[in-house]
Amino acid sequence: MADSYDFIIAGGGSAGCALAGRLSENPRNRVLLLEAGGKDNSVFIHAPGGLLPIMYRGMFQWMHVSVPQANAGGRQMYTPRGKVLGGSSSINGMVYDRGAAADYDGWRQLGNEGWSYDDVLPYFKKLEDFQPGGEEGYHGRGGPVLVSRPGIHNPLAKAFRDASIAAGVPYNDDPSGSQREGVVPADVTASAGRRWSAARAYLTPALKRPNLRVITGANVERVIMEDGRATGVSWRRAGQLEQANATREVILSAGAIHSPWILMLSGIGDAEHLRQVGAPVVHHLPGVGQNYRDHVAVSVKQYCTQPVSLFNVFHPLVAAKAVANFLLFRKGPLASPPAEIGAYLKTMPGAEYPDVKVHFAMALYEAMGRKLIMDHGYFAHIDLLNPESVGEIKLTGSDASAPLAIDPNILSTPKDMAMGRAAIRAVRNIFAQAPFDPFRGEELAPGASIQSDDELDAYLRETAISDIHAVGTCRMGHDPMAVVDPQLRVRGIAGLRVVDASVMPRVPGGNTNVPTMMVAEKAADMILNA
């Protein structure tokens, strides 16, 4: 007979770990957390500087790729997601970013009551232990997620700060406060030389609780339903099919790619599409897998004439010493997050809020870190924060062994192309300021000869990428294409919720890890008060 729990959570990532931690605080709640990946015990996960080896080697990830992109030269977008306890919070760049207040007020204006910025701010504050200080009234102390500020130390980071100011960008000490625009010091989910993932923040303290069970290597395939109600889940582990029953709720927290995948494999989705691939039809819900939204990333890369970048860290002997230094003393390059500084810029005419985020990197790489450029340099990884392009996720078969058809549909509108051009020109203006004079080498990309709109458009179509901040594929709302209601309950199915980035109707104007944990904190209150 299958084991029974009050709550079964499918997915041990940013949302799932937070939910498991909060729901199991009540000893009467029996909670099962299922994660397809393994335990988060690698030094590269816990070392903040281990990000580049993780991305370079493709460790702890679902190695998804998109379908060929019609507006990006037929290229397939690399679309990895975390496959380990902590999910993407265990392998990301650790950037602490909420997005703008207007993002959440926009959710509310779409009809999602309870999701305005005033509604969600208490949950941002609840989740954090914000060490840098910050603007009064906007930050929490004593929460599970430690947030620190590495400081601006590298000469290139200082040059970016000073050059931004010279270009007319204001300095902003707290982009999570009342003002968003400006060149900003990086706040990170790391402290004292350790990454502070959702697993470390929420799950590690909860593992000793007898009412919480965590199973790794468990690839959830289906939600079990009886008479319109979710009653359990089935998963595959080491080749064997297993299942468990849920007496109160099944909660999908598998992320914007995997939560709609599980729903569709379970027969919940667009009925015509499910029939086309031979999947069962249990409940027609046409919005499942639709509304795929993500930031688009473009870049400006510059060679550096001085040996001050992070290039030296890539040398095998230097890297080996860095690992030893971290293991013995928790010091050195691996103990420091790679981010020191960034900027939120208004680049489009009449922009009320920043439409671009610049991640300033003190090294040169391509393909999300999978290809290193072995020379000194620096570059701007630029997120277009509010792209209009909307994609979708579809099944290619009726079982979990069939790959997904992931279509971000990037650069599909003239406005997105215009945003990309404006972003490149804004960053070039910063890089041209006097503080970069001692360091500025040849522009590697786009290249000094690429100047006209047509030339920049060609560069965008050749190089722009989907920035693995996917949301929206199980979006909340009240209209026929909504998958969940504002309480995150799947419409038409009792006892089933989705709690992760897939419920966000629009992508926030910033990194999505912290907003996802906020969603989980708010959902935990909803569930416990139901």
Tell me the two tokens of residue 322.
């860095």
User: Measured between alpha carbons, how far is 220 from 235 in angstroms, rounded to an integer?
Assistant: 4
Beta bridge partners of 169: none
Quote the Cα angle for 67-72-76, to 5°.
Answer: 30
Q: What is the largest CA-CA distance in the chain?
A: 71
Task: Tell me how far the alpha carbon of residue 68 is from its chain's centroid.
Answer: 22
Single out the residue of 64, 335, 84 nearest to residue 193, CA to CA.
Answer: 335
Give dist(CA 8, CA 479) in Å, integer.
28
Distance CA 475, CA 112 (A): 10
Angle between helices 117-127 and 513-528 (to 10 degrees): 100
478 an active-site residue? no
Distance, in Å, from the CA atom of 184 to the CA atom of 502, rounded to the nearest integer, reads: 28
* Amino acid at position 33, single letter: L
Decide if 339 contacts 25 (C-beta within 8 A): no
CB atoms within 10 A of CB 165: 16
The whole-angstrom separation of Cα 355 and Cα 181 is 9
Q: Could you say which of 46, 64, 376, 469 is catalytic? A: 469
**Cis omega (within 30 of 0) on the bond before 446?**
yes
**Separation between Cα atoms, residue 479 and residue 346, nearest integer Å:** 32
Q: State the catalytic residues.
A: 469
